Structure 1
Amino acid sequence: MTQSATDQNNRRSGDDDASTGPDGTSVDAPQHSALRGWLAVVGLALGVFSFVTTETLPIGLLPAIADGTSVSVGTAGFLVSGFAGVAALTAAPLTVLAGRVDRKWLLVGLMVVYIIGNLLAAAASGYALLLTARIIVALAHGVFWSIAVSIAVRLVPERHTVRATSLVLGGISLASITGTPLGTAVGQSAGWQVAFLCVGILGFLVLAATLLFMPALPARGSGSLSALPHVLRHRALRVAIGVTALIMSGHFLAFTYVTPYLEEVTGVRSSLIGVLLLVFGVAGLVGNFAAGALVGRNLRATLIGSTGLLSVVMVVMYAGGAGLPLAVTMLVCWGLLYAALPVALQTWVLRLVPEESEAASSLYVAAFNGAIGAGSFIGALIVDASGPRPTMLATAAFAFAAMLLAAVRGKR
């Protein structure tokens, strides 16, 4: 991706931090502005952590929420699947319609919506109000994911864009390690409303970081829904979205049911499941930052290698999952490989349509969130029919298909 010298300087600290010399050429921003840019990137990573924690928070609290709102556990589960569905359906149109809003103030608005939604959930005593609160947060969720990485790469020098991407997306793994488990623990000890209150308060920290460190970033989008068919004309982007849909559907197909797999196939005691999921999350955090270096060197090879190796890992889990040492080893490999994929896929999408990067990202986010629901649904059908073990083989097939699509059609 080639950029002019002016664009490089602007991205180094944000569009408003670049100054202009007497001859009209761009002058490097002072060092403190570069620091401010990285602090803003950290704020974005904290935002990712917040949104992922909020999205998955009900998973560990479904029985308590169901009991507290007088609904079935299945109905309570819609707080997760419905959240993902709303985010998938609204990410693209809302992001495009907000295409002319300064990115700093768009982030401020999204965090205000996030805070309101979570505080409303904390005050809810009935299911209808809780579901409404979740829908409010989901509307902000899709837009935030669509713009977070594209903003991050504008805040740092071009040579550090992949590093900024991996730092922002590191919030996913960090949420898996600390955010969701801590939220579950708080909800179980103090009540699920308190858990939502805590994530709402976390939103104030992200809002403060945005106001303090984020420079003004003029919008680059068209602000028109016509941007969506425009970006979809790019064959390579359609391939990238297809690869995203395949690999994320495959991942959530198996990962949603990893607990029954470990209990029924591997024979792990229920008291150890949390430890193994923590191990998975730590492996993911390591894989996320390792992917930053690999993607910077060879994006396509990283993507093809990660999906191909993931298919092998899942076959091994299907065939040898009854052995605890082998299953745990493969779980670690799964965490390492999966964490590399969002970094590679998001970087790929941003490089394909730089003139409408956020519209392209919104389609990626829609595919990602839609895959969560689709994969979980397919996994449920498999588990009900044959138990959790075949989900690993199904995931291997999805990963292999993603590898073939990336290798054959994803040359750009």
Structure 2
Amino acid sequence: MEKNLAAISAQNDSRLDLPLPDQRIHANSTPSPLRSWLSVVAVAIGAFAFVTTEFLPVGLLPQIARDLGVSPGTAGLMVTTPGVIAAISAPALMLGAGRINRRLILLALSVLLLASNLVSAMAPGFGTMLLGRALLGAALGGFWTLALATSARLVQEQHAAKATAMILTGVTFATVIGVPLGTFISTMASWRASFIATGVLAAVALAAQALLLPSLPSKAAIRLSDLRALLSRANTRKSLLMVALVFGAHFSAYTYVTPFLVQSAGFNLPAITSVLLGFGFVGFVSNFVISTTVSRNLQLSLFAVVAILMVSLLALPSLHASQAGVVVMILAWGVAFGAIPLCLSIWLQMSSPDLPEAGSALFVSIVQVAIAVGSSTGGVVVDSLGIPSTLWLGGALALAGLVVISSFGFNHKKLGEILSQ
């Protein structure tokens, strides 16, 4: 897989947002310089801060809903709102950015992340809370588009896949440490203190990027025609549908996992913190394992983890009376989702080898649409049919995702060829 990505990167030197020849990081066959990897770490810290902030309300939903006087389903808008805004901002920011240095854009987005956390922490009512979450969404779409599109620019070409995987470990670290820590802080102090803590994390990410990120000049601006060119490909459209279904499956259920654990399974808040910590830890291990094996068969790996996701979601409602059974299924769910972002990210890179930045923008936009629609639909289902129903909804969406994955056939050697058509 790394060789494939390296070939893709080399092929695209004359295209979007890739460094000019004299700006490329020079090296021979030795590992990339330490500073190059430190710049990747800086982006990974940003990913950690963004994902922790994005999903912090998942562990705080009951407390925020109670204090701000809204129902749990309505409180789910704290996840839906940034998803909607990010879906718009991902392509819009890249179209409007022109040839602005990508380093400056990443720094500006980190400032916006810090502002989002401060507004949310001080929110006197739910409307102000949604304003803070909207600021997050405005920054989120652009950050992920640039993080995924520029990861290969920070290191040598042959290390592109490792750089992407390292940045995506920010996602798993957020679920391992960030979200559970936010829940723990809320039990010790308040949910407002949790947002202040994520504000501090955002400040650390901003400082790391200011110190470590190199200049990332843009050679050419992304154009509407680039987006249209990708969307004109049947397999790219099918791939985006698959992404939407899989992420929608996860977030229609994960947004309401804390209310499920409290109301249906009888867990207290300290126990929920431990469960979410376990979810994140196994997800981190899963991401590490899949990064070493995904090159052998990307499609089979993706099919397997989505199948585990489906089984976990469908089994949880029937196991609610057994806390041990619930924990096992939550951990299996964590294993599945720990591997899914990397698998889907590489899948979309293979779908758009000639238009990497446009591909990243569409990928991020579809993911955020899936998060927004999944969490909002889950909220409607929770308020009208009860919490277990949103788990069944997630399981059904995962099943639909498996159908789409299967529709590509299982010829590993020709997968990249098929996807780029």
One-letter amino acid of the counterpart of residue 313, structure 1 = S
Q: TM-score, normalised by structure 1?
A: 0.84
The CA deviation at 1:130 is 4.3
- Does 2:372 match 1:370? no
Alignment partner, residue 72 of structure 1:
70
Q: Conserved in 2, the CA contact under 8 Å of 1:221 and 1:359?
A: no
Change (3 A) 1:353 1:156: same
TM-score (norm 2): 0.83
1:15 and 1:215 in contact (8 A); partners too = no
CA displacement at 1:18 relative to structure 2: 6.2
- How far does residue 343 in structure 1 lie from its aligned partner after superposition? 0.4
Deviates more, 1:264-273 or 1:297-306: 264-273
1:283-331, Cα deviation, whole Å (9 max, x unpaired): 1111111121122222222112222333233344455554444332222
**C-alpha separation between the residues in 2 aligned to 1:262 and 1:124?**
26
Question: Contact 2:19/2:219 (CA < 8 Å) preserved in 1?
Answer: no
* Residues 218 and 356 (structure 1), Cα distance of their counterparts in 2 relative to 1, 3 Å cut: farther
- Residue type matched to 1:177 in 2? V
1:87 aligns with 2:83: no
Q: Which residue is equivalent to 1:158?
A: 157
- Cα 1:122–1:29 change in 2 (3 A) is farther
Change (3 A) 1:182 1:401: same
- Percent identity between matched residues is 35
Mark the CA change 1:232 to 1:282 in structure 2 (over 3 Å): closer, same or farther.
Answer: same
Higher relative contact order (CA 8 A, sep 6+): 2
Cα distance in 2 for residues equivalent to 1:44 and 1:214: 8
Give the structure 1 partner of residue 352 of structure 2: 353
Q: 1:194 to 1:296 in 2, by over 3 A?
A: same
| 1: CA distance, partners of 2:393 / 2:295 | 31
Structure 1 residues 259 and 54 mapped into 2: Cα distance closer, same or farther (>3 Å)? closer
SS at match of 2:295: helix
Identify if the C-alpha distance between structure 1 residues 118 and 221 changes in structure 2 by more than 3 Å, giving closer, same or farther. Answer: farther
Which 5+ residue runs of structure 2 have no aligned equivalent?
410-414
More displaced 10-residue stretch of structure 1: 246-255 or 353-362:
353-362
- Kindly state the Cα deviation for residue 373 of structure 1 after the two structures are TM-superposed: 2.4
* Distance (whole Å) between structure 2 residues aligned to residue 135 and residue 175 of structure 1: 20
Correspondence for 2:412: none
Report how many aligned residue pairs link the two structures. 402
- 8 Å CA contact retained: 2:27, 2:156: no
> What secondary structure is seen at the aligned counterpart in 2 of 1:156?
coil
State how 1:384-395 maps to structure 2 within 5 Å.
384-395=383-394
TM-fit CA distance, 1:390: 4.1
Which shows bigger deviation, 338-347 or 307-316? 307-316
Distance 1:317 1:6, change over 3 A: closer
Deviations 1:114-139 (A, max 9, x none): 23333444555455554433322321
Residues 404 and 99 from structure 1, CA distance in 2 versus in 1: closer, same or farther, beyond 3 angstroms? farther
Instruction: Give the Å deviation of 1:202.
Output: 2.2
Q: Which residue of 2 aligns with 1:286?
A: 285
- What secondary structure, in the 3-state scheme, does the structure 2 residue paired with 1:251 have? helix
Q: Distance in 1 between matches of 2:210 and 2:338?
A: 30
Q: Matched residues in 1 for 2:318 and 2:120: separation?
A: 43
Taking the TM superposition and a 5 Å limit, the aligned residue runs for 1:8-407 are 15=19, 28=27, 34-61=33-60, 71-73=69-71, 77-122=76-121, 124-125=123-124, 128-187=127-186, 189-219=188-218, 222-263=221-262, 266=265, 268=267, 271-320=270-319, 322-407=321-406
Q: CA deviation at 1:61?
A: 4.4
